[in-house]
Structure 1
Amino acid sequence: MQDALNNAKSYMKPSEFEKKHNEAKDKSIQKLKITTNSKLKGIFILNAISAIEKKYANFRNINNKKPKPSPDEGRMALTVSVCSANFLEKKNWCDDTTRCDPYIKIFINNKVVIESKVYEDNQYPDIKETYLTDNFIHKNTPIKIEMWDSDNGNDDRMMDWHFDPATLLNKGGSDRKVENANCIDASLVWIPKE
């Protein structure tokens, strides 16, 4: 195509060719009106124009194509439940006279998305929280679940669990973490980006 443009240049004045070429480039595809004395020159120039039009048509088609979504992006529904809540992170009992008062926090990408209510004096709380992401996330987005013992503003962490959606999906979509007789279950449903 470059040869065709160079040959077309030789049949026109340089400033006229550059002006016509720039107009075609600026307006994507534009038919050039060229008057010539010879049929041969006209045919050659029309071939050059056709090549320019094809180039810009292909460029326009490439830019109008939507990129394919990444299979690693999607939305997720994460369900977290507590099996047992017995000890603080430092292997101590929660309170001297009562059982733990557990609650959980779910973080996605280091941002708290859910904080459950407190289940007072409950060793086996019925904590079950489900979170559906509003936006698309990557399968490697960090997720953290923390379980805490509520103590009137002086709360103590009981355990935490770090993972990402890919790790959970590789384990069949669910897993359990047990630490110091504390237990958390997590299950995940992945909805790929279409």
Structure 2
Amino acid sequence: MSNPSTSDARQHAPAAERNRDPILAVLRQVLPASGLVLEIASGSGQHVTHFAAALPDLVWQPSDPDAGSRASIAAWTAHTGLTNIRAPLALDVEHGPWGIDSAQALICINMIHISPWTATQALFDGAARLLGSGGVMYLYGPYRRHGAHTAPSNETFDQQLRNRNPAFGVRNMEAVVALGEAQGFVCSEPIAMPANNFSLVFTKRQGATRI
């Protein structure tokens, strides 16, 4: 049963409702069978509760730099009654420490295009420290490919983002993959997702050490 004192804090993101099942289908294939999964920029908490319910053998660590989002995550967790979700961390990828020493996997959904490029660099820096050999990093969102948008709607979205903040924008997939490679990650073939998005799955190379 939900707790009325916390359920009022729940935020509702329509995009999270739309994309959670396609993302879950990929996560089922790429995440380890057990262990700790850190979610960066968890937002409303709708994703983490959906994934935690579907993958109960994993422990989920949500995080977000925004206090309102953390309250929503806690409220969604209380509403669902799930016990494999930890309390959300106040985590900003660009400002350490992250408050967590290690994890078996890291997921980050729809953050890279609505944050400065320095945040993406910090994300990979932190993932390299956090994940050991064989650790998985999952990214989801829109990307340019070979410098070009994959759909007119993405080009319009990109311009809207840049008008909002010149440091935001749809990133070149090749640049993101290169960041991962520099930190000891191998990216598998990009997975096309609905609404002109992609899933990128990175695996920490065997023998690659934490920085």
TM over 0.5: no
Q: What TM-score results when the alignment is normalised by the length of structure 1?
A: 0.21
**Higher RCO (C-alpha 8 Å, min separation 6):** 1
Name the structure where helix makes up a greater proportion of residues. 2
More strand by share: 1
Q: Which has the larger radius of gyration?
A: 1
